Structure 1
Amino acid sequence: MAQIAQVIVDVPTMQTNEPYSYAIPDALRDQLQPGMRVTVPFGHRVVSGFVVGITDDTQFEGQLKPIQAVLDLAPVLNSELQQLADWLATTTYAFRITCIQTMLPNLLKAQVEREIAPTAELTAQERATYFPDGMARPFDSTKLDPTTLSGLLKLRQAGKVTVTYQVKDKAAVKTTPGITTTLPTSQLQELATSVAKRAPKQAALLTYLQQLPAQPVAQAKVIKDAGVSAEVIRAGETKGWLKRQPLEVYRDPFQQPVAPTKPLTLNDQQHAAVTAINTAVTQHAAQTFLVEGVTGSGKTEVYLQSIATALKLGRSALMLVPEIALTPQMTNRVKSRFGHQVAVLHSGLSKGEQYDEWRRIDRGEATVVVGARSAVFAPIQHLGLIIMDEEHESSYKQDENPRYHARDVALWRGQYHDCPVVLGSATPSLETRARAAKGLYTRLVLDHRINHRPLPTVHIVDMREEVKQHSGDDDFSAPLMTAIQERLDRHEQVVLMLNRRGFSSFMMCRDCGFVLKCPNCDISLTYHVNPRLMKCHYCGHEEAVPQVCPNCHSRKIRYYGTGTQKVEEALQKLLPSARILRMDVDSTRRKGAHERLLKQFGRHDADILLGTQMIAKGLDFPNVTLVGVLNADTALGLPDFRASERTFQLLTQVSGRAGRAEKPGEVYIQTFNPDHYAIQLAQTQDYERFFVTEMHMRHQGNYPPYYYAVQLTASHEDEKVAAQAMYQILAAVKTGLSDQAIVLGPTPKAIARVKRKYYYQVVIKYKHEPHLKAVLDQIRQGSQRAARGLAVTIDAEPMNFM
């Protein structure tokens, strides 16, 4: 009986969200497995896809098309990840193929290339115009000029050319020359004796080959260990002593070796936390822990000693950190404890490095994985422990399909592997802390720093008074400048955080009030001094800095606001002898820039680290005794129900960078809202009081965690089309839900236009709606038949409503 493969094709539409049946050729019978990548004919083209099942029958009555090729020797998706993809598609309202692709490194995402070839039907003139060399040419409509594209399309309609599709597998391994011997040891000994006097280097090579193992050894190692040159090895190959063959090597993302470390002595609170976690690891209990520890309380050591327990039991561990900026320091700490067992996964690696680390994990060669959000999909086997550091961070939520939260995926995998999940933070998200309060999570508290080091003294600077006294819009208050100078005099280090990037917020005309905005988005352009351009931080639009107002032609157009480049320039003028490092999105674009800047600061090659939010978390430098927050209010003014929570978390986290070693720390928070409870409670790092206060505010406003939430968005280049679509969606929502659900909108989003598209939204808040999933599935299905260019997205549990 013929075997049939069920294949999810790489065409993300509702029509292709279920598998298609393909005949398995006899040559592949009993070899194909679920999780393998294949290429299949689909319509008039060839596409890649994933085998999700093997059957002996099908409901399709016609002639099945056969699978064209297999791209893998073994499945790239194991059984767990296949099940996870299905769960993810259901809970995030995304296509199955999108979820599958999200789990894989970029080099495992096959690329379809098209070629257009001439036929005998072409006239000589057409052949000379479009195929001057008589050969097929690549057919990429985005790279062809309109005239050529139009001509080729007409030829295709006339049947004078053919288009072929080739699926190019980008997964390539890195190789280096490898050496194996071709002769027995006794013969190598005889040869070494005979050539010893006239060719000592050849004799050295022959002696080395006698000790060579059966498997290939890298040529570079042979050259180093035997003390010979590549020319000598080539001579040996010519004489038949050895043969060279490609040897697969991994691309190593660790640039420098790290010194090994040993477990530290735990205090009573750390010991209690490790004991509780280890018990769950040993008992294979899918238990969720919240490690709520103040900054500097030793959470990382708790993680490391818990990982060690999992490894001793023959299991593996997964550790998530929220951002690339945190990965180098955390990875080095884990690597120094567990050595070659550690693999790292994050977007800062090259595609080749990602692919090689993924394969090390898949092959079981790495049993500890450290990485950012997408590392939660690592193909790690026998999981014994999952750790999610800084679990409150919004970067754990993906803002494009599939819109998953890494915490939810981690909890799913914890249930699958019967292993504990540890959520760690000094300032847990309200959702996590509320679940701990209900007893759904086990709360482990570390409420004082290691060795009872005091928390830093926090000063709140009222910038309203500062501006009155100094009659300017300077970024630095007098108390902060005095404190910075004191640290420079004592050769200590300073961290300054500014809650935005770029040189200046916007340009405004003082005569008519005109603000220079992006032509594609409803947002002002930001001035960047290097290069000197106005840039949009949403769509990437750039334009020259205007000399006159485009509206009234006045020359009184000026920069307003503050950015990291502007602050760096001002700070250098105020403190000309200070060595300043700037760390923001612009200065860390290049691969390895995060680690390079942090190493510079760690070596005390700079006195002041000036940066955006990326410097607020996870950094541990013993010589930092002062932290300054230049504008604590930035997030408070946003139309976001989590604005107060994010402000409190950020201020608490960045304050924790000061005084982490023997020297005491101080923090200066500059604010125009000194009486706001988020700022007042951040001063004392009183998370528990903030939790109670903020939960009261959420309860009054019917916001999470008291309610679940779903955000529906429609976007189109025509504002009317987007608005009409949202009103139709609103009607479907109200028909399917109970009167207990709270439906807000439709309204334009806070930034109503981005990349030439208008955005409208509806927000649903609910506690229990059994028909909600069916309603949302119906909306998603209907959106596939919507007007051209209309996009409808569904975001379950959005991080904000902006």
Structure 2
Amino acid sequence: MLVPEIALTPQMVERFKGRFGDQVAVMHSRLSGGERYDEWRKIREGKANVVVGARSAVFAPFSDLGLIIMDEEHETSYKQEESPKYHARDVAIRRAQQHGAVVILGSATPSLESYHAARSQANPDFSPMLLEMKKRALGNRLPEVHVVDMREELKEGNRSMFSRDLHQALDARLERKEQTVLLLNRRGYSTFVMCRSCGYVAGCPECDISLTYHQKSNNLRCHYCGYAEPAPEVCPECGSEHIRFFGTGTQRVEEELAKLFPGIRVIRMDVDTTTEKGSHEKLLKQFRDQKADVLLGTQMVAKGLDFPNVTLVGVITADSALNLPDFRAAEKTFQLLTQVAGRAGRHQLPGEVVIQSYTPEHYSIVHASGHDYDSFVREELRHRRSLHYPPYCRLILVTLTHEQLPLLVRMAENMVTTLQGKAKQRGWYGSLDRLTSDAFEVLGPVASPIPRIKNRYRFQCMIKWRGNIDAVALTREAAEQLEDSAQGQKLLISIDVDPQMLM
């Protein structure tokens, strides 16, 4: 049984142990080396028939595997971004084929690749059956959803991060002693620090990214390399005292809640509060035992959690991911909004959802507010088909990094030239606009969206391909050729097949 987040493991383990007792093993990366070995040995010796865990549990050493269930199969956390790169869904399907087992990919918002494969039945290696549940498991109604246009709130004089609708809904839940889940997909206190006198923005010295302010530690932190420095009291560039903290993070929302609702009990759940072992279980148990009124968090609070007393879900900023350089931005936004909305009214009490947005007309938000997966899929697939993106092709993202930018640019250009030349030799190369069944196209090279991390510059190119061609082998061949020619120059090349993120 695979779950997308370690935070969901305790709840799932509790349910499975209630049914299967000591036959349940647990596998995830937060276990110590000794604990992991004990669980592995328990499975290997046949003392456990059920394994519950996050991505790595797909490798559980069963000799007679019969069933693999992937809960929330659409989640990008099933893809391991570090080497060795793999997607747990692909591993699950391959293992099931080897053992003659069944795979169940479960989601209220399936990934477009899985949904399209089930609908089209065009892929002989992956042609799942599509089974649909038209009602909630307990038969209760889906929550009522209100979308608030924050542009109108500002026009009418409301400068708070909370719309009037969300404020009133929170007030009503506190009065009735019901609970609320608030989603904000940004940790920290503010997203960047700027001097209003000279325009200076505090940035990481090793990455081309702004630093995030964390109030509890009173420091600025880079979420990519871990660099931290004390928060400035005056501008380091011009000496001005007009230092301001811009943007909204979970710490700032927590502070604002305390100001607006004195005495409110808030549990904040994000990367900063869940670093210690057992912290997920502790926080979720406190909320389940109704020792808090609000569970505030990043996307980890949107997935699979089940609390009978939660009747309100609030989304602080629904469009935060829509402007990212990612062709899946609309899909991820729709999935996140639909999933977090599903936390409200799961039992006897009716649910309500308030979604705050600066672009409420965007089709991902419109269809999510209407619980309309089918309409979203039709619209999104039209865009994907016209732009030649998955599921109508496959992608390989090649990222090159080096400490010297001029050398890196030359290497990236060489990589693209080599890829194009090898594809032409095989008769594959050409735009995906062609009507031929086989096509191989290279886009780039360009600087990565975050052009420098840990003092290494980053350039990337993207390969689109379709048909019966071995694009992965060709890409590896080109990368090895470039690495051989650049020996001793500290060039690193990363090849990501079917990337989930383009950052």
1:106-161 per-residue CA deviation (whole Å, 9 max, x = no partner) reads xxxxxxxxxxxxxxxxxxxxxxxxxxxxxxxxxxxxxxxxxxxxxxxxxxxxxxxx
Tell me by how many angstroms 1:783 deviates: 4.7
In 2, Cα distance between equivalents of 1:585 and 1:771: 39
| Equivalence for 1:465 | 152
Amino acid at match of 2:46: G
| Equivalence for 2:390 | 704
1:305-336 per-residue CA deviation (whole Å, 9 max, x = no partner) reads xxxxxxxxxxxxxx111110111111111111
Matches within 5 A, 1:63-102: none
Is the 8 Å Cα contact of residues 415 and 478 (structure 2) preserved in structure 1?
yes
Amino acid at match of 1:644: A
Q: Secondary structure at the match of 1:581?
A: strand
| Equivalence for 1:392 | 74
In 2, Cα distance between equivalents of 1:688 and 1:519: 46
Tell me by how many angstroms 1:551 deviates: 2.5
Is the 8 Å Cα contact of residues 507 and 525 (structure 1) preserved in structure 2?
yes
| Equivalence for 2:498 | 797
In 2, Cα distance between equivalents of 1:497 and 1:661: 20
Is the 8 Å Cα contact of residues 729 and 779 (structure 1) preserved in structure 2?
yes
Unaligned runs of 5+ residues in structure 1 are: 1-318
Is the 8 Å Cα contact of residues 212 and 223 (structure 2) preserved in structure 1?
yes
In 2, Cα distance between equivalents of 1:772 and 1:480: 50
In 2, Cα distance between equivalents of 1:421 and 1:655: 27
In 2, Cα distance between equivalents of 1:765 and 1:420: 31
Relative to structure 1, the CA distance from residue 451 to residue 530 in structure 2 (aligned partners, 3 Å threshold; closer, same or farther) is: closer
* 2:260 is the alignment partner of 1:561: no
| Residue in structure 2 matching 1:626, options 298, 301, 312 | 312
| Residue in structure 2 matching 1:776, options 469, 475, 487 | 475
| Residue in structure 1 matching 2:258, options 572, 584, 587 | 572
Amino acid at match of 2:462: V
Tell me by how many angstroms 1:590 deviates: 0.3
Tell me by how many angstroms 1:424 deviates: 0.2
In 2, Cα distance between equivalents of 1:726 and 1:414: 39
Relative to structure 1, the CA distance from residue 471 to residue 551 in structure 2 (aligned partners, 3 Å threshold; closer, same or farther) is: farther
Tell me by how many angstroms 1:552 deviates: 2.6
| Equivalence for 1:549 | 235
| Residue in structure 2 matching 1:441, options 128, 138, 144 | 128
Is the 8 Å Cα contact of residues 732 and 775 (structure 1) preserved in structure 2?
no
TM-score, normalized by length of structure 2?
Answer: 0.94
Unaligned runs of 5+ residues in structure 2 are: 122-126, 424-428, 431-438
Tell me by how many angstroms 1:340 deviates: 0.5
Q: Secondary structure at the match of 2:156?
A: helix
Tell me by how many angstroms 1:471 deviates: 4.7
| Equivalence for 1:745 | 444
Q: Secondary structure at the match of 1:446?
A: coil
Structural RMSD (CA): 1.1
Is the 8 Å Cα contact of residues 509 and 558 (structure 1) preserved in structure 2?
yes
Amino acid at match of 1:547: E
In 2, Cα distance between equivalents of 1:779 and 1:410: 29
Is the 8 Å Cα contact of residues 415 and 482 (structure 2) preserved in structure 1?
no
1:372-422 per-residue CA deviation (whole Å, 9 max, x = no partner) reads 011111111201111111000000001111111000000000000001110
Q: 410-419 or 439-448, which moves further after superposition?
A: 439-448
In 1, Cα distance between equivalents of 2:266 and 2:472: 52
In 2, Cα distance between equivalents of 1:687 and 1:729: 40
Relative to structure 1, the CA distance from residue 769 to residue 546 in structure 2 (aligned partners, 3 Å threshold; closer, same or farther) is: farther
Tell me by how many angstroms 1:742 deviates: 2.2
| Equivalence for 1:421 | 103
In 2, Cα distance between equivalents of 1:364 and 1:403: 29
Is the 8 Å Cα contact of residues 783 and 792 (structure 1) preserved in structure 2?
no
Tell me by how many angstroms 1:719 deviates: 1.1
Q: Secondary structure at the match of 2:187?
A: coil
In 2, Cα distance between equivalents of 1:774 and 1:375: 28
In 2, Cα distance between equivalents of 1:656 and 1:321: 17
TM-score, normalized by length of structure 1?
Answer: 0.59
* 2:430 is the alignment partner of 1:731: no
Number of corresponding residues: 483
Q: Secondary structure at the match of 2:364?
A: helix
1:490-532 per-residue CA deviation (whole Å, 9 max, x = no partner) reads 0100111111100110001112222111000010000001111
1:505-564 per-residue CA deviation (whole Å, 9 max, x = no partner) reads 000111222211100001000000111100000000001111222233222120000011
Tell me by how many angstroms 1:801 deviates: 2.0
| Equivalence for 2:21 | 339
Stretches (4+) displaced over 6 A: none
Q: Identical aligned pairs, as a percentage?
A: 54
1:636-680 per-residue CA deviation (whole Å, 9 max, x = no partner) reads 010100000000000000000000011100000000001000000
In 1, Cα distance between equivalents of 2:388 and 2:98: 33
In 2, Cα distance between equivalents of 1:763 and 1:754: 19
Amino acid at match of 1:466: E
Amino acid at match of 2:236: P
1:56-79 per-residue CA deviation (whole Å, 9 max, x = no partner) reads xxxxxxxxxxxxxxxxxxxxxxxx
1:345-382 per-residue CA deviation (whole Å, 9 max, x = no partner) reads 01122221111101111111111011101111111120
| Equivalence for 1:657 | 343
Tell me by how many angstroms 1:784 deviates: 4.3
In 2, Cα distance between equivalents of 1:583 and 1:471: 27
| Equivalence for 1:354 | 36
Amino acid at match of 1:795: D
Comparing both chains, which one has the higher relative contact order based on Cα–Cα distances under 8 Å and sequence gaps of 6 or more?
A: 2
Is the 8 Å Cα contact of residues 345 and 375 (structure 1) preserved in structure 2?
yes
| Residue in structure 2 matching 1:670, options 356, 360, 364 | 356
Tell me by how many angstroms 1:779 deviates: 2.4
In 2, Cα distance between equivalents of 1:512 and 1:764: 42
